[in-house]
Amino acid sequence: MFNSRPTFFIKKNSTLPKLKFAIDEHMMLRYDITHEMLENCAVTFSMQDSETGIYKIANKAADLILNDNFPENPDDDKYNLLYKFSLNDTSKSGIYLAEFKIDFLGENQCGKLTFPNTEKITVVVQDSITKTTVI
């Protein structure tokens, strides 16, 4: 059977690339998310070991990025959830399951959504033959 789970690859002891998850117009309509709601929200990221279920990252701050080029490129996604890994986040190779949470903070906007909502993101931290230390 086809696995539709998004997969992200990063090298052990690396901080790049950043993990990006798009929020497209279809998702916004499906979950009744307005642009105003996304202007007043908190985004967190969590990642757990797929074998043990132990969290490597638990509700760490993440970013919601507005695509400034959206008017010129309407086929692009207007909003992206973004997480930049720390060296500690990628210190152990393995397969992890990750998700973003958005907490809507306005007076009439309380609530929380998890993305992706059906299948978590598979994060593969791969062994690396090199380790770089910046001095």
19 occurs within a structural domain: yes
Instruction: Over range 77-97, report the average pLDDT.
Output: 95
CA distance 35 to 66: 10
Q: Distance between CA 52 and CA 97 in Å, rounded?
A: 11
| Residue 135, domain member (yes or no) | no
Q: 36-84, pLDDT tens digit by residue?
A: 899 889 999 999 999 999 999 999 999 999 876 655 665 667 899 999 9
> Does a structural domain hold residue 2?
no
Q: Which residues of 96-127 are buried (b: 16+ CB within 10 A; e: fewer)?
A: bbbbbbbebeeeebeeebebbeeebbbbebee
Residue 68 in any domain: the answer is: yes
Q: Which one has a higher pLDDT value, 5 or 71? A: 5
**Whole-angstrom Cα distance, residue 11 to residue 13?**
6
| Per-residue pLDDT at 35 | 87
Residue 132 forms part of a structural domain: no
Query: How confident is the model at residue 50, as a pLDDT?
Result: 96
Predicted confidence (pLDDT) at residue 112 exceeds the cutoff of 70: yes
Closest residue by Cα to residue 21 from 127, 117, 124: 117
Range of the domain at 88: 7-126
Q: Per the domain annotation, does 1 fall within a domain?
A: no
Amino acid at 103: D
SS3 readout for 28-85: HHHCCCCHHHHHCEEEEEEEEECCCCCEEEEEEECEEEECCCCCCCCCCCCEEEEECC
pLDDT value of position 4: 63
Number of domains the chain is built from: 1
pLDDT of residue 2: 45
Which residues on adjacent β-strands are paired with residue 114? 101
Q: Tokens representing 3?
A: 């696995």
134 pLDDT above the threshold of 80: no
Among 54-58, 102-106, 108-112, name the one with the lowest average pLDDT: 108-112
Model pTM above 0.75: yes
Residue 77 lies in a domain: yes
Q: What is the mean pLDDT of residues 83-97?
A: 97
> Picking from 19-28, 52-61, 81-90, which range would have the lowest pLDDT averaged per residue?
19-28
CATH code at position 21 = 2.60.40
Q: For residue 85, count CB atoms less than 10 angstroms from its CB and return exposed for 0-12, middle for 13-18, buried for 19 or more.
A: buried
- Provide the pLDDT for residue 93: 96
Task: Look at residue 100 and tell me if it is in a domain.
Answer: yes
